[in-house]
Structure 1
Amino acid sequence: MASSIQETKKKKRHQNPKKTKTSETLTLKEVKTLGSQLLSSRAHINNLPTLLSVLSPSSPLKFSLEALISLQSFFVPLVNEIPSKTLADPSKEKDPELVYKAWLRARFDEFVNSLIETAVDSRSEEALKDVALDAIMDFVKLGKDGKFQSAIYHRLLHSIVRNTSSVDSLIDLLASKYFKYLDVRYFTYTSLYKVANDSNSRHMAGISPKEAEKASSDPLSGNSKSQKPKGMHSEASSVNRILKKIKLKFTNAWLSFLRLPLPLDIYKEVLATLHQNVLPYMANPAILCDFLTMSYDIGGVISVMALSGLFVLMTKHGLEYPKFYEKLYALLTPAVFMAKHRALFFQLLDTCLKSSHLPAYLAAAFAKRLSRMALSVTPSGERLIIAIIHNLLRRHPSINFLVNKQDEEADGEASEGGDNSSQDAGIIRSVVQSKKHGIDPFKSEESDPSKSDAMRSSLWEIDTLRHHYCPAVSRFVASLESDLTVRAKTSEVTVADYCSGSYGTLFKQEVERRVKQVPLAFYKATPNTLFWGSEFPGWSFQDPRDNKQEGQDVDKGVSKTLGKDHTGSVKRQRVECV
């Protein structure tokens, strides 16, 4: 009878779900109680799995924080006692203490995985991510003998790379809090190198532009004061040796990353970041010459963005690129004025054309190509073109003949010769002959600047901008002419001041500009028509009501009376109502 009663009670307990507490049915007070019991006595060790189930991105913030703090407080004192490996078959182990430690090791790994999942998951709130990251890094630095626990850190970075959602906030936290430590940077580059070279980790090519930018941070920006923080370092190497090793790891990590099949948006972000955040800190920057030259040869926006890194290698690391100016010349198309990084491109263009050893034909070709582009770009782009051409004419006096002159002046210079060589005189004669026939010998479609015939042309396109509808453009052309006339009192134009111009900036400048004299329209008599007839030969503008007669065919104010002009051609006389 007693046995049947006990069996009945067991069945009732099994059938009643309210008696079993799960992570969904726990209250915050019960979570706190479970944590306190776990920290107070080993007898409550079974609270550990329950608290682990509460720590989840889907759990309420207060529940997760409470479980996280309790679990972290429990595991921190036991880190050195937990075995590094779990038992192959715990059931065959006879020592209860070893079985307990093996079980504890499995729960610790589960806790670390939960922390990483919580930190990476986009559902987690920022406060929870912050606490989870701090807990992870605590276990990273609390290894045996104070050694850096690279295995845990590698798992964190591997999860960041594998994650498909945005992890920008986590990257910001990691960079702002821990990238000041050299050992963190060292193992960051080591882990990224391993991930990039893993055959099963090609998904790293999908890393977001924000992560690519963070990964390219200065590897040596940590001060000497932070090179040996408490509990974060091995003291085996000197500072110089550590810095060299970090540079090498940084270089290897970037090389392995650049070998991946990068998507186009990531590829562009890498090229935009390379010259500032990568090349100055590599062990051997010239190792990227193949990558940059191949990118520069692609053309279009990719070439524009690769120019910065290639320029650094040419000017600071002795890279020789014979077709550099030919490729740069080919990049000058109206589309470049719409590129995202156009400001940096035009500043580099102006710098590349600054050398006094630049041949005259090359300077003339760039000036002429820019001049032709001025006919098809926005007013802000035209001002930028005028600034670059202005600097070219000042730096290279041998191409001053390109400035549009009157035929009589050019004929006089060609006949007198003056200080010009016979070759210059011949060029001036060809320019004059071309102008007389209305032909421009410049070959705008030619990609080779040496074959463009720019030396036989002139900058007539800039002359047309004197009558531009935008006052800022016409004023700038006028200042260009006076500047070239009085060179001693003027200097080069700063191209950077015109790189970020737009319709909005031009409008703002015109609105804020103080006008000394306002043009006014003055009429001796009140006008009764919109246009004067003398301005449009063959047309007459008058009110049809003034001469409307009975029987005259008037259709909506337009007279069908026809008349003849002085050439005998018949034109329709148009009558407009005012």
Structure 2
Amino acid sequence: MSSAVGSKKKEKKEGEGKDEVVSLRVVRTLGQQLLSSRSHINNLPRLLAFVKPTSSPDYALESILSLHSFFTPLLPQLPPPASSDKKKPPPPRDADAASEFIYLTWLRSNFDLFVSRLFSIAISSQSDPTLREVALDTIMELVKVGNGSYFHSSLYHRLLRVIVHSTLGVTDLLLKLLVSNYFKYIDVCYFTYISLEKMTRTLESEDKADNKSATSEVDIGNKSRASMELSIRKICHLLTNIQQLNGSNETSDYEMWSSAGIGAFARRPNKKNQYEITKSEDKTQIFGMHDEKDVTATDVKKRMKLKFSKAWLSFLTLTLPVDVYKQVLATLHVAVIPHLSNPVMLSDFLTRSYDIGGVISVMALSSLFILMTQHGLEYPNFYEKLYALLEPSIFMVRYRAKFFQLLDSCLKSPLLPAYLAASFCKKLSRLALSVPPSGALIIIALVHNLLRRHASINFLVHQEEIVETAKESSEAKESGVDGTENSCAGKKQGVDLFNGEEGDPIKTNAMRSSLWEIDTLRNHYCPPISRFVLSLENDLTARAKTTEVAVKDFSSGSYATIFGEEMRRRVKQVPLAFYKSTPSVLFSELDFPGWSFVSNDGEPVSIDSDLATSTEPIHSFLKRQRVE
């Protein structure tokens, strides 16, 4: 006996010193024995011991392949898991049946442990990337066949929940593999919508609970908020990467992951030959079809659209981070609204976003405009909010090109009242005094289109009537004197009654003003602006002789684009700058009457004697003349 024990210890020590290939061969042998006979069932826990993130990738890979091959044919025989709400059958009274029941229950617990280990490997950053991919593929294979050839939605929901609530980043390998390899299957996308809707509702309740219960542990609160924001980013990433159905009417175009094919969308019969609904599917998922042949492509698209709508509407109720908020608003009108069952359901979200102001309002304008023009949404204060967005900062934001195109579209209707068109025209003209050259080009294009569409405000171009001051106007009203009778006595030049600080377009007095700001652009230092503003001298009321300007051609301009266009432009005459005599000062006192120039020592600066004795004004020598 002692000699046998000694020989075993000796063999163990020799095995530890041998190459790893020998040990890997032993692991492979354990798997082969497990698959060959039930007598080697004790190899199951030994193989499970290698399925963990800290194991060698070769050990774990061999164990995963063997255990997957072992459990796949046994899944239909296994009892429901302990966490399942399904009614569990009582243990049989017969001794053989009772032992078989205990054996299958033990297999179920080991299978659940195997799945948990696969989840740990898949989400662990310490695991080998190839091993993580194998773990994900194994889980999806179990999802494929683990529910009697139907899609195992509960197992797939566990996978998504583990991914969303893990510390994995949005750019992690696991999410890339899931999106690229499995989001092309229609049933995977369908149950992804269902799972993400459930998780967003859970996050919403947690978010409300965190807001109500204020805790003194600031670090814990920040950590929970950071983890929730990470989960929101991953949910947004999954939602935005699901491919939408095409417009085909044939079911053969829909590639399914589960072996049941399109029948996964139909009712499934139970043992009593009746059609029941599983817990993972609510009544809205069922068409009432009894056969795979009854399910058409239109039915599938209808159900997909319903789940898509529920998932997105549930996601938009969350408190989104600012970067996610902007990302969603930037793509909402293209990727979400066309696929919703009822796009008007987004009206509350979009109106709240539009009321925030700033960049958020600019980004929400695209989707809100679609709801108003295509889906009958009424928003009474729309133009007041749009008018409030016209600020100098709007010409610097990233999404200005789309905003100005939408602004031009919103002001396109000929049914707009004259005061509204005049207010927008005047506000844009006032902004032309403070925006960069690229912004001035956009303003000229917008003003050009407004004047051409609304003939009733063309008098703003050259209003010869001298306007009276606000003070004298109020005095005239109080005294009861008619302003038209004493127009010459109570009016002064140089007073603009337009109120640029007023937020209500009705009260801006734009109809009593003129576009003198546009006239100042004639002498703009940027040649394209001074040339483009000359287009407003044409009679824009003659619609047959004029055309509207495409705002999109100017909306994405910058200093670089303007400079590039000028460099490519061929000119016949080149402007020259020269001086009859070399100047000694940059600015002269005659250019700034009433100002005095002193040096750093506090002494007055004398004007150059040559310039002082010249008979011509000093500014004529200092200003550069441009030849057109």
Quote the Cα distance in structure 2 between the aligned partners of 1:195 and 1:485: 58
Query: Which residue pairs with 1:342 in the alignment?
Result: 400
1:130-529 superposed matches below 5 A: 130-168=133-171, 169-198=173-202, 202=207, 206-209=230-233, 211-216=235-240, 217=242, 219-221=244-246, 224-227=251-254, 229=256, 230-232=259-261, 233-234=263-264, 235-236=266-267, 237=289, 238-239=295-296, 240-404=298-462, 407=464, 437-482=493-538, 484=540, 488-521=544-577, 527-529=581-583
Quote the Cα distance in structure 2 between the aligned partners of 1:400 and 1:273: 38
1:85 and 2:89 matched:
no
Deviation string for 1:151-201 (max 9, x for gaps)? Answer: 111011112221233133544433333333332222112112221222675
Stretches of structure 1 that go unaligned for 5 or more consecutive residues are 412-425, 540-554, 567-578
Equivalent residue letter for 1:212: C
Equivalent residue letter for 2:332: L
Q: TM-score, normalised by structure 2?
A: 0.71
Q: Is the 8 A contact 2:498 2:512 kept in 1?
A: yes
Deviation string for 1:51-75 (max 9, x for gaps)? Answer: 4444445556555545444443343
Deviates more, 1:345-354 or 1:395-404: 395-404
User: 2:446 is paired with a residue of what secondary structure?
Assistant: helix
Deviates more, 1:168-177 or 1:332-341: 168-177
Query: Which residue pairs with 2:625 in the alignment?
Result: none
Q: Is the 8 A contact 2:588 2:607 kept in 1?
A: no
Q: Is the 8 A contact 1:171 1:211 kept in 2?
A: no
1:75 and 2:71 matched:
yes
Query: Which residue pairs with 1:114 in the alignment?
Result: 117
Equivalent residue letter for 1:163: S
Stretches of structure 2 that go unaligned for 5 or more consecutive residues are 83-87, 208-226, 268-288, 290-294, 467-482, 594-600, 614-628
Quote the Cα distance in structure 1 between the aligned partners of 2:606 and 2:411: 62
1:19-58 superposed matches below 5 A: 32=28, 34-42=30-38, 44-57=40-53
Equivalent residue letter for 1:251: S
Post-superposition shift, 1:365? 0.7
Equivalent residue letter for 2:514: S
Equivalent residue letter for 1:162: H
Q: Is the 8 A contact 2:51 2:117 kept in 1?
A: yes
Q: Is the 8 A contact 2:28 2:62 kept in 1?
A: yes
Equivalent residue letter for 2:239: A
Q: Pick closer, same or farther for the CA change 1:395–1:486 going to 2, 3 Å.
A: closer
Deviation string for 1:321-352 (max 9, x for gaps)? Answer: 11111111111112222333222222211111
Quote the Cα distance in structure 2 between the aligned partners of 1:533 and 1:500: 36
Q: Pick closer, same or farther for the CA change 1:64–1:491 going to 2, 3 Å.
A: farther
Q: Pick closer, same or farther for the CA change 1:285–1:218 going to 2, 3 Å.
A: farther
Q: Is the 8 A contact 1:195 1:201 kept in 2?
A: no
Q: Is the 8 A contact 2:184 2:243 kept in 1?
A: no
Q: Pick closer, same or farther for the CA change 1:192–1:241 going to 2, 3 Å.
A: same
User: 1:493 is paired with a residue of what secondary structure?
Assistant: coil
- What is the root-mean-square deviation in Å for CA atoms of aligned residues? 4.3
Deviation string for 1:271-302 (max 9, x for gaps)? Answer: 22322222222222222222222222222222
Q: Pick closer, same or farther for the CA change 1:326–1:9 going to 2, 3 Å.
A: same
Q: Is the 8 A contact 2:196 2:235 kept in 1?
A: no
Post-superposition shift, 1:26? 8.9
Deviation string for 1:500-521 (max 9, x for gaps)? Answer: 2222323333333344433345
Quote the Cα distance in structure 1 between the aligned partners of 2:423 and 2:184: 49
Q: Pick closer, same or farther for the CA change 1:122–1:338 going to 2, 3 Å.
A: farther
Deviation string for 1:225-250 (max 9, x for gaps)? Answer: 24463434424442333333332222
Quote the Cα distance in structure 2 between the aligned partners of 1:127 and 1:84: 31
Post-superposition shift, 1:77? 3.3
Quote the Cα distance in structure 1 between the aligned partners of 2:502 and 2:64: 68
Equivalent residue letter for 1:382: A
1:54-65 superposed matches below 5 A: 54-57=50-53, 64-65=60-61
Q: Pick closer, same or farther for the CA change 1:328–1:129 going to 2, 3 Å.
A: farther
Q: Pick closer, same or farther for the CA change 1:394–1:218 going to 2, 3 Å.
A: farther
Post-superposition shift, 1:370? 1.3
Deviation string for 1:397-453 (max 9, x for gaps)? Answer: 211122246x5xx68xxxxxxxxxxxxxx99x99xx98x621221111111000011
Q: Is the 8 A contact 1:120 1:167 kept in 2?
A: no
User: 2:376 is paired with a residue of what secondary structure?
Assistant: coil
User: 2:148 is paired with a residue of what secondary structure?
Assistant: helix
Quote the Cα distance in structure 2 between the aligned partners of 1:484 and 1:134: 66
User: 2:348 is paired with a residue of what secondary structure?
Assistant: helix
User: 2:395 is paired with a residue of what secondary structure?
Assistant: helix
Q: TM-score, normalised by structure 1?
A: 0.76
Q: Is the 8 A contact 1:181 1:222 kept in 2?
A: no
Quote the Cα distance in structure 2 between the aligned partners of 1:336 and 1:496: 16
Equivalent residue letter for 1:343: A
Aligned residues: 520
Quote the Cα distance in structure 2 between the aligned partners of 1:465 and 1:473: 7
Q: Is the 8 A contact 2:232 2:320 kept in 1?
A: no
Q: Pick closer, same or farther for the CA change 1:506–1:20 going to 2, 3 Å.
A: same
Deviates more, 1:114-123 or 1:59-68: 59-68
Q: Is the 8 A contact 1:205 1:260 kept in 2?
A: no
Q: Is the 8 A contact 2:34 2:44 kept in 1?
A: yes
Q: Pick closer, same or farther for the CA change 1:33–1:377 going to 2, 3 Å.
A: farther
Quote the Cα distance in structure 2 between the aligned partners of 1:36 and 1:56: 20
Post-superposition shift, 1:138? 1.6
Quote the Cα distance in structure 1 between the aligned partners of 2:533 and 2:27: 76
Q: Is the 8 A contact 2:72 2:146 kept in 1?
A: no
Deviates more, 1:389-398 or 1:248-257: 248-257
Identity of aligned residues (%): 53
User: 1:308 is paired with a residue of what secondary structure?
Assistant: helix
Quote the Cα distance in structure 1 between the aligned partners of 2:462 and 2:442: 19
